[in-house]
Chains A and B, each alone.
Chain A
Amino acid sequence: MLQRVTRQVVVFAVFVVLMGFAYSGYKAFGQSIDDKQHDWWAVGSVLPRTDDLNMPPILDILAEFNVIQGGTDKVLGRLLFEESLFTLREAALGFAVGTVVGMGIAMALARSKPLERGLLPYVVASQTIPLIAIAPIVVIWGRKNVDFMPWEWQDWMSVSIIATFLTFFPVAVNGLRGLQSPRPENLELMESYAASWNQTLWRLRLPASVPYLFAALKIAATASIVGAIVGEISAGVGGGLGRRIFLEAQRYTTGPERLYASVIGSAILGIFVFLVITGVERLVLGHQGREAVT
C-alpha cells in the first residue's frame, strides 16, 4: 500500500518536472529563433509567444509564491492558501448538498420507472444551462429571499449553490446506475424472501452502488471546485481563487507570474480534493473497489 502510494507520488513528480522542462524547452527554443521565424512558423504564432510577458520563466513563477504582495504583508503563497480555504468552503458545502440531492434523485428514479423516464431528461438538460446565467440570479435571490433559515445567508453560500448545480449531476446519474447494478439473480433472491423495496434498497442496492458512487464523487469533487471558481468570478463574493484568477488576469501586463501562480494554486486545490475522495474510497472499499466498477 505504502509502496504503491510512493510510486504514484514519484511518477507524478517526474511528470510535473517533465512538463516544466517542456515549457522551458519550448520557451528557450522560441527565444533562440526570436519567435515567428519562417521555418518554424508555428512558434510564436499558432503556439504561444515565448517572451517573458507571454511565458514568464518557471523560476519566476515559483519565486512569486514567496513575494510579499503590494498592499498586504503576506506572500502570494499565503494569500493563495487563504483564497483556497474560501473556495474550499464554498465547494465543500456545494459538494455535500449536491451529493445528498443527487443521491435522493437517484433513489427516486430507481424506485419508479415512469419517474426515471420522465425526470431523467430534465436532469440531463439542467447541465446545459450556462452557469454564468444563473450565478447573478442566485446571488440576488440568496441575499433577498433566504431569511427563513435559522442562520444568516452569506454571499458565499450562493456560490455553493452553483457548485451544487455541477455536483448533483454525476452523483444522480452514476448513483442510479449503481442502484440498478445488482444482478437479476440477486434481486430475485431478495424477492423470494419477500423483502420490501426499502429492505432491498438498504441491503442490496445501496451497498452495490457505493463503488459507482465513489467514481461519481471524484468527478463531483473536482466539479464542485470548478463550480465555486466560476461562481466567484461571476458573482462577486469578495474572495476565493476564482476572483483572484480573474483579477490577476486583469493586471496580467504588470505581473504575468501572479496569474500563472494562481492557476497552479487552483490546480493544487483540485488535485487535493480528488486525493481526499480517493483516500476515503480506499478506506471504505479497501482493495475491492478496483474490481467492483468495470
Chain B
Amino acid sequence: MKKSLLWRLLAVLLVFGLFAAACGDDDDDGAAAGDDAADDTGDDEPAELTEVALQLQWVPQSQFAGYFAAVELGFYEDVGLDVTVIEGGVDIVPATVLDSGGADFAISWVPRGLVPREEGLNITNIAQVFQRSGTLQVSFADSGINSVDDLEGKNVGNWGFGNEFELFAGLVSAGLDPTGDVTLVQQDFNMTALINGDIDAAQAMIYNEYAQLLETINPDTGELFQPEDLTIIDWNDVGTAMLNDAIWADADRLEDDADYRATAVAFVEASLKGWAHCRDNPQECTDIVVGVGTPFGGPAHQAWMMNEVNALIWPSPGGVGVMDDALYAQTVDIATSQGILASAPDDGAFRTDIAEEAVANLEAQGIDVTGTGFTKGVVEIAEGGE
C-alpha cells in the first residue's frame, strides 16, 4: 500500500514531465512575446556581422523608434552589425547591465548614467541623442498654476526614484523650499491622481503621460481633455532641464579594444540614421514600433510619442548625437547642487569623438544631421490612444 503510493506519485510526475516537455517545444516559437530578448548565436546570419546587444531603459515604444527603425530597415546590417534590442524593466539599470557585460551599449538618461559612474562603473556617454528634456509638470487650467511660483502651498506630484530632480531644482530656482513650501506627493506613473484631484500638479513626460491626459474623456464635458484645459510647466523653459536619452558604452573596452570602438562608431552612425529616418518618416517609424509589439498604448499614442520625441532630438544644431556643452553643464550643475552627484564628473563621462565621426559619415551619405528645418507635426488624438 505504502509502496503503491510512491509509484502513483512517480507515474503522475512522469506524465506531467512529458506533458511539460511537449508544451515547452511548442512555446518556444509560438506565443512567447519576449523571444526578442534572447540573442541567437548566429543562426543563418552571414558570418561577418558583429553581434551587438543594446539594453533599453524601458519597453519598446516610440521613445526608442530610431533603434527599432535601424534594425527593421537594415541600417545596422549595412554597417556590419547584427543588433539585438533588449527591453528594460523596473529594476533594470541599463548602466549596470552595460558595465557587467550584459549588453554592449545601453540607452540611459544622463543623470542615471552619471550616478552609477560616480559609484565606480566605468561607462561613458558616446552619443547624446535627446537634446532636450521631456519632463513637464501638468496642472488643470482652473487651478491657476501657470509658473513654478504658483506651486507654493500646492500638492505636487512626482514619481520619485530620481525623476524629481528637475522639479526640485525648478522650485529652488523660484526661491521655494522643496521640503517646506510645497507638499510633495508620490505619484503613480499615470495621470489618475491629477484627475482625482489628489494632486494639483502632476509629473508627466510630454511624449507619454501628457498624451494620456489628452486621450482621456473629461467627465465634466464628455469630450476628451483639451490642451486648453491644462497648463504646463516645461523645465526646458524654466532652465532646470536635465539631459535625457543618450547612448552609453563601456569606457574600458573603448580604450583597450579597437574593434569595439569601430563597432561603437558603426552603431552610433546607424542609430542616428534611424533617428533621421524617423524625423522624415514619423508614420513609418510609428508602424515599425507598433509592429515590433509595443505593449504600450495603441498606434495613435505611439504616433504622438514619435512626434514629441522627434521634437526632443531635432533640431540638433551641433549635429545629432553630439553633446551640447551648455546643456551638459546645466545637467551637471543641477546634479551637484541637488546632491545627486557628490562632485562634477571627470572628462571621461562623455566623449564626442565617436558621435562626430558617425555624423561625418552620415553627412558623406547626404543625410541631414542637424534637422534645422524641423517643426513638430500635428498628431490626431484618439481616445485611449488606440
Chain A contacts to B: CB under 8 angstroms: 49, 51-54, 69-72, 82-83, 85-86, 89, 92, 96, 132, 135-136, 139-140, 143-144, 152, 154-156, 202-204, 206-207, 210, 232-240, 243-244, 246-247, 249-255, 280, 283-285
Query: Which residue among A243, A250, A283 has the maximum number of chain B CB atoms within 10 Å of its CB?
Result: A250
B91 interface neighbour in A202, A235, A243, Cβ under 8 Å = A235
Residues of A within 8 A of B195 (CB): 53, 253
Q: A144-B102, A236-B89, A246-B90 are in contact. Are A71 and B294 (CB under 8 A)?
A: yes
Q: A140-B96, A240-B34 are in contact. Are A53 and B90 (CB under 8 A)?
A: no
Interface string of B97-119 (1 = CB under 8 A from A): 10011100000000000000000
List 26 interface pairs A-B (beta carbons < 8 Å), by A numbering: A53-B196, A54-B196, A69-B386, A70-B301, A71-B290, A71-B293, A71-B298, A85-B32, A89-B27, A96-B20, A139-B92, A144-B100, A154-B37, A155-B38, A155-B86, A235-B89, A240-B34, A247-B59, A250-B188, A250-B296, A251-B296, A253-B191, A254-B384, A254-B385, A255-B384, A285-B5
What residue of chain B has the Cβ atom nearest to residue A285's Cβ? Answer: B5
A145 to chain B, nearest CB (A): 9
Determine if B190 and A253 form an interchain contact, defined as CB atoms under 8 angstroms apart.
Answer: yes
Determine if A236 and B297 form an interchain contact, defined as CB atoms under 8 angstroms apart.
Answer: no
Number of inter-chain CB pairs below 8 Å: 170
B31 within 8 A of partner (CB): yes
What residue of chain A has the Cβ atom nearest to residue B6's Cβ? Answer: A207
Determine if A140 and B34 form an interchain contact, defined as CB atoms under 8 angstroms apart.
Answer: no
Residues of A within 8 A of B293 (CB): 71-72
What residue of chain B has the Cβ atom nearest to residue A86's Cβ? Answer: B32
Of the candidate stretches B209-217, B236-244, B310-318, the one touching chain A is B209-217
B219 within 8 A of partner (CB): yes
Closest 8 CB pairs of A and B: A70-B298, A238-B34, A236-B89, A239-B34, A70-B386, A239-B33, A82-B31, A234-B91
Determine if B90 and A254 form an interchain contact, defined as CB atoms under 8 angstroms apart.
Answer: no
Residues of A within 8 A of B24 (CB): 89
B59 to chain A, nearest CB (A): 7
Query: Which residue among B37, B40, B219, B295 has the maximum number of chain A CB atoms within 10 Å of its CB?
Result: B295
B192 within 8 A of partner (CB): yes
Residues of B within 8 A of A156 (CB): 32, 34
B45 within 8 A of partner (CB): no
B88 within 8 A of partner (CB): yes
B283 to chain A, nearest CB (A): 14
Query: Which residue among A71, A132, A210, A249 has the maximum number of chain B CB atoms within 10 Å of its CB?
Result: A71
Determine if A238 and B37 form an interchain contact, defined as CB atoms under 8 angstroms apart.
Answer: yes
A136 interface neighbour in B91, B290, B383, Cβ under 8 Å = B91
Residues of A within 8 A of B299 (CB): 70-71
Determine if A143 and B102 form an interchain contact, defined as CB atoms under 8 angstroms apart.
Answer: yes
A49 CA to B195 CA, complexed, in Å: 12
B109 to chain A, nearest CB (A): 16
Determine if B213 and A233 form an interchain contact, defined as CB atoms under 8 angstroms apart.
Answer: no
- Beyond contacts A86-B33, A132-B91, A234-B89: 15 other A-B pairs, Cβ-Cβ < 8 A, are A53-B196, A83-B33, A85-B32, A89-B27, A135-B91, A140-B97, A152-B41, A154-B38, A202-B6, A235-B91, A236-B88, A238-B36, A247-B296, A253-B192, A254-B215
Q: Would you list which residues of chain B between 1 and 55 have a CB under 8 Å from chain A?
A: 2-3, 5-6, 8-9, 12, 16, 20, 23-24, 27, 31-38, 40-41
